[in-house]
Amino acid sequence: MNFYNENRYKAMKKTLETMYIPEPSAEEPIEIDENALFTFAAWGDPQIFHGTETRIRNFAAACKDIANMRGRLDAIAILGDVAEMGAECEYKIAAELLNSVSDKFGDFLCVTGNHDIRRRNYARQRGVFRDFVLSVKGGIFENHSGGYYFSKDYPRCRFILMGSDTNSFEGTYINSAQRKWLEKEITEAEKQGKTAFVLNHQTLKWTNGLPVTWGGNGKWRGSIGIQSDKIREIFERHNNVVFITGHLHYGFSIYNFEDCGCFKALSVPTVGVVNHGSVSDDSQGYIVSLYEDKIVIRARLHAEGKWLDKKLPGAYIECKINK
């Protein structure tokens, strides 16, 4: 398949222009708490695909909800698997939808998922992904040792974006250079009293409901993979990490947030594909706000334009920041 296929792009574009897209309610818009130090949307797995309408519809509905919001997010973070086939035509649709609401967010932070990198030559696909990120207004991408990983510093927090160092069909391979870099980035942020939001596509083994949240299969499937323990060791040497991931396509539940003591693990449902579990609504996402002494994480049903009922598991998470 070509990286960029004009006919597929045109077909998706026509779908987008003619299909029914849910109209999120404007009665309960996302609002920015002015006391928050930093607020961002965390979305998992749009997985835009030229072969199905539903993912385009779901992602477009989420963007509509962002369009209705009051105020402006500091950032939108996507936790990988932007494009099902890693094809340019799919990225182009995703970028157009994000750019249609670019006045509603500052930076665009995005890590690669297995779908983004698994089908083609690593170096070439890195270029395709970089071009996508930079085509979104506010897109951040830094060249770092030929890999996908880099960080972005803010006054009260640091985002650390991890990315596989090789093609991987389902997991992530984090080489020793990246692990060393990861440790350095977290250490620096910790010394500066900053929360380290570490973004990666897959969570850790035995975390966020694995293996249940990956259909109960195997000891590592659904996680980073064989290097999961090495990454956990790094997090456990510090006190300031909030590890944010996607990949599981598991709806709001008891599994989204896990307090692992010295670090926290937040698994985000999919904004594009079908969510598993008892809350299976389309277009799910989290709105995360950092405060002086805590982090507040709210579950958003974007297609409906509503917050998930606060009484339900995973709907409203408040955790103290480790000092």
Candidates 114, 203, 245, 275; binder of Fe ion (CB under 5 A) is 114
Q: Which one, of 280, 274, 319, 243, lies nearest residue 42 by Cα?
A: 243
Q: Which is nearer to Fe ion, 91 or 105 (CB)?
A: 91
> Is 249 a binder of Fe ion (CB under 5 A)?
no
Min separation Cβ 113 and Fe ion, Å: 4
Q: Which is nearer to Fe ion, 245 or 253 (CB)?
A: 245
Stretch that binds Fe ion, among 204-212, 247-255, 257-265, 315-323 (CB under 5 A): 247-255
> Is 81 a binder of Fe ion (CB under 5 A)?
yes
Q: Which one, of 58, 52, 131, 61, lies nearest residue 95 by Cα?
A: 131
Min separation Cβ 201 and Fe ion, Å: 6
Stretch that binds Fe ion, among 112-120, 145-153, 189-197, 287-295 (CB under 5 A): 112-120
The footprint of Fe ion on this chain (CB under 5 A) covers a number of residues equal to 4
Q: How far apart are CA 6 and CA 144, in angstroms?
A: 31
Q: How far apart are CA 314 and CA 316, in angstroms?
A: 6
Min separation Cβ 189 and Fe ion, Å: 26
Q: Which is nearer to Fe ion, 245 or 283 (CB)?
A: 245
Q: Residue 68 in 3-state DSSP?
A: coil
Q: Which is nearer to Fe ion, 168 or 195 (CB)?
A: 168
Min separation Cβ 88 and Fe ion, Å: 19
Stretch that binds Fe ion, among 48-56, 192-200, 203-211, 241-249 (CB under 5 A): 241-249
- The 3-class SS string of 28-65 reads CCCECCCCCCEEEEEEECCCECCCCCHHHHHHHHHHHH
DSSP one-letter code for 213: G
Positive or negative torsion for Cα 190, 194, 197, 203: positive
Residue 61 CA neighbour count, 13 Å, CB half: 30
Q: Which of residues 175-214 bind Fe ion (CB under 5 A)?
A: none
Min separation Cβ 76 and Fe ion, Å: 18
Place of tokens 């323990």: 229
> Is 88 a binder of Fe ion (CB under 5 A)?
no
Q: Which is nearer to Fe ion, 20 or 169 (CB)?
A: 169
- Cross-strand partners of 106: none
Q: Which is nearer to Fe ion, 137 or 221 (CB)?
A: 221
Stretch that binds Fe ion, among 17-25, 113-121, 137-145, 233-241 (CB under 5 A): 113-121
Q: Which is nearer to Fe ion, 24 or 246 (CB)?
A: 246
> Is 113 a binder of Fe ion (CB under 5 A)?
yes
Residue 158 CA neighbour count, 13 Å, CB half: 21
Q: How far apart are CA 182 and CA 64, in angstroms?
A: 35
Phi and psi at residue 2, in whole multiples of 5°?
Answer: -70, 155
> Is 118 a binder of Fe ion (CB under 5 A)?
no
* CA distance readout (Å), 18 to 12, 21, 67, 229: 10, 9, 19, 47
Q: Which is nearer to Fe ion, 81 or 90 (CB)?
A: 81
> Is 247 a binder of Fe ion (CB under 5 A)?
yes
Q: How far is CA 21 from the centre of its chain?
A: 22
Residues that bind Fe ion (CB under 5 A): 81, 113-114, 247
